[in-house]
Structure 1
Amino acid sequence: MAEEDFTRTGTDASGRGAGHRAAATAARHRSGAPVARRARAALGRSIRPGAPRRWVVAGLTLLTGLTGLLAYVGTRPGPEPVLPSGVPAGVGRPTGYPAVEANRSEPGPAAPGLRPRQRPPSPPPSPTPSPSVSAPASPQLSVSQRDIPAEVDLTAVGSRDWVHWGLRGNSTVRKRGGTGEILDEGGRGRRGNWDGNQEVFSWRDGGSVRSAHATSTGVFTCGAGNGFSLAVAGSGELRTVRLYAGLWMARGRLEARLSTGGPATTLRLEDPHTSRSAEFTVRFRAPKDARLLISWTTEAVFSRGCGNVGLQAVALR
């Protein structure tokens, strides 16, 4: 303060004040003074008379902060260079990492001294399932009955095989090129033929007789206990047999069973006064070495003459 007052009031002989002389003297020594002393001197000159002391304190605090900031900036390392894309991982890292890097299983930078994560042992391979073997289909047998259509086309209903009886006496006509799976195994009683069935039969693929149209012939055997025996070969698949049969003043019994055993299926047909006929449908499944067995027998007669059962045709599909 004293120096500042003297600068404003005192002058020398040349007209310049003492304050001017003091400034000139300070200028001669300023270049060799430290940065901190020059800053404090400038701060002292800028303080007006009567300024609050808190400004002095604030200025000193600011000066200290600037000094620390300059020291920090001078010691801070430069930014880490960014590696261009495609540079292998690990480039630029300290030596000693390759052994760790080669065994790492986690993404991201490795830390020295860490052991690679231990992997659990691989589970044993699952056993290959053996191919499933389908169990053979169980035997099957069912029998149903209905009236015979007015005309039967054996070529259509017997796609695998068919047989017709009685066209010429007691002769038999089979399907040409058929499988031969229908077997006539005879039966009890003497066979005779007649021409007068209520239904007629036709075919276009016969063997001994190539074709026939609307024939009403068939064969019969008289007396209780007499009849016919047939067999059809099994194939392991479901098959359908249609048997066309009739009777005269009698009761007939149809029995179907499999050669592999099991219960038989029985149906009856009766007319005590005149003739009657029916289509018996047999659905069965039997192994290749087994057969369907069919018997058509006179169970009772209602005539003193010739109560009988008759046979016209059988078809397989």
Structure 2
Amino acid sequence: MEAALYQTILSQGACVDLSSRAKWRLSGADRVRYLNGQVTQDVRATTSDKALHACVTNVKGRIEGDIFIHADADSLLFDAPAGLRESLGARLERYIIADDAVLEDVTDQWRLWHCIEPRPGTAGEPENPFVRLKNNRFGLKGFDLWIPADFPSPCLAPLPQLSAEEAETLRILQGVPTWPQELNTEVFPPEAGLEKTAMSFTKGCYIGQEILSRIKTTGKMPHVLAMWEAADGDPSLLVPGAILGQDREIGKITSVARHPISGHRVGLAFIRQGSASLDSRLPVGNGLSSIAAHVKISALPNQ
């Protein structure tokens, strides 16, 4: 991503085609009660004008997927990363037993666009006839558009359209975790910084709730997700999976990007809880006898 585009995104907004994401419709009289027992958020709070971020967790409280939910007149609609289309669909179907709930894969029936809103006083937002859902999925104020697949492509001018690579860079710069880099079956939602945005601790029981409530009470978890930046050093060492720490593993890099303004390598990493303070400078180890790169860690923007 070039510096000019990054500055344009922050001031004038942008749009991203997310149509490849998996999409489902859940209908039936028990749809809200059923899904509320599967995810970390309070599904009773879903509306037709806002997307609710939630995690689907297993009995151990670890993440099996993250979804964005909204409601229409007689169903719940939600989307998830494309790679979860089969596994997450099967996982949710498995627990529908005596419930009046029907899960339908509607991936091919809808296109999904996300728009990052311009700052007040800058160029206006595009006009469109589609349902607009408030959603800050890139860590910036924005909205989703669910568009029937047989409708013409929307006119989203004057917003620039981001490529998949540019959208990934923006995600990393904003400190937003994603599947499977930061969100996967080894991770608890609070480790990924989702406690404030994708969890409810007052909604009642759901699969994995007991363990996650214990983490909330004690504050203890294996890792915490952090931002990092490397102003110098060998960039070939700064890759996903790189180990932070020399004598012992303190953390592991999960995502990497080049900052469009500074040119520095930046990204996300899981750090062992309590092993390093914010603003620490950690060596990139990878089993090397000499250290050729260091990173400085900092908190996620929403923490």
Same fold by TM-score, threshold 0.5 exceeded? Answer: no
With normalisation by structure 2, the TM-score equals 0.21
Point out the structure with max Rg over C-alpha. Answer: 1
- Larger strand proportion of the pair: 1
